[in-house]
Amino acid sequence: MSRAGLPTMCAALLVALSIHASLAQAEDAGVPARPPAVFERDAVEVQAPAGASFQRVRIDNHFGNVSVRGHDHPSIAIQSFKRADDEATLDRLVVSLVPDGKGQVAISTALRAGAEYKPVRSGGIAVDLVVFVPRASAVDAEIWNGQLLVSKIDNGATLSADEGRIEVKQVSGVVEADMRHGEQAFAELFGELYARGIEGSLDMNAVSGKRLEANLVRGRIAGTGLKVANMKIRSVFGDVDLSSEFAAGGSYRISSRKGNVSIRFHGRAPVGLKVLALKAMLATELEPSADGEKRWLAHFGARTAKAVPANLEISAPAGTVVVRHF
């Protein structure tokens, strides 16, 4: 045997010994030994009908992760990665693609059911999808638990996950995201963003355009490089930390019922500020003044006929508000 083949042989032997040891330990503990999982990878590409295009792609995967990427081709390409405890169960996992003939395509995963099939243990199956779609198509995607990633789409996305992570990058148009428990991250978005969550975190970077709305019941909301005409951000039990540029005449409402709010803003547009908080720390250049108990008024810049002030309202009745201009 050549020396070049020794490392490969040794690695294979170590893997075999490791599997054998794991099975032996399971048997010693009185637990039925579980054989190694089996895997399958598939790839398919679908061309749009002559003279037509894919306008909307709907993806529903309840068994794993989904990654959607825009590309400069009229086709849809799917890569699927399946895992199961045995070959019979693996064969029951199905990935389907159904066009409706009107520019919409539905992609879904399923597990064939029937009395002749044995039950599947929790965590015993998984299907991960990587889907390439035309940049100009809109995307609707839903998962249960896992990662939902979307990038390089020019016509917006509607996303939903029960638990895990939603990540969106380099997307234009209207983006809607709904997450029950987990992380949400948005970067390099242009258009409108509407993000909702029950518990977790929400991070935004370089989001610009017409409108930004973010709502989180429990968790921190953070943003840098924000530049939108209208903003409404609310966390019930969590801090809000934003770095933004405000537009003349824009409306900005930011609140945390049980947390703190920190705002750093830049730009030359005039800003009118109203604050409700247990404590406020406002930069002196904002010329703050008290407006009753737990209330402050402030302003930045001079109001002119050509520059109507941005309206900034901040509420943190149980916390501290910090506002600085840089």
Q: Say whether both 6 and 71 belong to one domain.
A: no
72: number of Cβ within 10 Å:
8
Return the ∠ at Cα 220 (arms to 218 and 221), rounded to 5°. 115
Map residue 26 onto helix, strand or coil: helix
Residue 268 lies in a domain: no
Q: Say whether both 137 and 50 belong to one domain.
A: yes
Tell which of 83, 115, 144 closes a domain.
144
55 backbone dihedrals φ, ψ, rounded to 5°: -95, -30
Q: Say whether both 20 and 84 belong to one domain.
A: no
pLDDT, residue 35, reads 65
User: Quick one: average pLDDT of 257-280?
Assistant: 95
Residue 117 lies in a domain: yes
pLDDT band of residue 36 (cuts 50, 70, 90) is confident
Q: What residue numbers bound the domain in which 11 lies? A: 1-34
* Number of structural domains in the chain: 2
Residue 170 lies in a domain: no
pLDDT, residue 102, reads 83
Q: Say whether both 23 and 50 belong to one domain.
A: no
Residue 6 lies in a domain: yes
Of 150, 147, 113, nearest in space to 135 by CA: 150
Tell which of 144, 162, 193 closes a domain.
144
Q: Say whether both 3 and 81 belong to one domain.
A: no
Lowest mean pLDDT among 115-119, 150-154, 212-216: 115-119
Q: Say whether both 57 and 137 belong to one domain.
A: yes
pLDDT band of residue 17 (cuts 50, 70, 90) is very low
Q: Say whether both 3 and 27 belong to one domain.
A: yes
User: Quick one: average pLDDT of 255-279?
Assistant: 95
Q: Say whether both 62 and 131 belong to one domain.
A: yes
The per-residue pLDDT for range 95-137, each reduced to its tens digit, is 999 988 788 999 999 998 876 778 888 889 999 999 999 999 9
* Mean model confidence pLDDT for the chain: 89
pLDDT, residue 119, reads 85
Cβ-based neighbours of 3, under 8 Å, separated by 6 or more: none
Higher pLDDT, 34 or 182: 182
pLDDT, residue 138, reads 97
Q: Say whether both 124 and 135 belong to one domain.
A: yes
What letter represents residue 196's amino acid? R
Residue 138 lies in a domain: yes
pLDDT, residue 321, reads 97
Distance CA 211, CA 209 (A): 6
The per-residue pLDDT for range 39-55, each reduced to its tens digit, is 999 999 999 888 889 99
Q: Say whether both 61 and 125 belong to one domain.
A: yes
User: Quick one: average pLDDT of 301-317?
Assistant: 86
100: number of Cβ within 10 Å:
10
82: number of Cβ within 10 Å:
24
Residue 247 lies in a domain: no
pLDDT, residue 305, reads 64
pLDDT band of residue 33 (cuts 50, 70, 90) is low
Residue 91 lies in a domain: yes
Q: Say whether both 13 and 41 belong to one domain.
A: no
Residue 45 lies in a domain: yes
Higher pLDDT, 131 or 299: 131
DSSP 8-state assignment for residue 5: G
Contact 54, 74 (CB under 8 A): yes
The per-residue pLDDT for range 225-243, each reduced to its tens digit, is 999 999 999 999 999 999 9
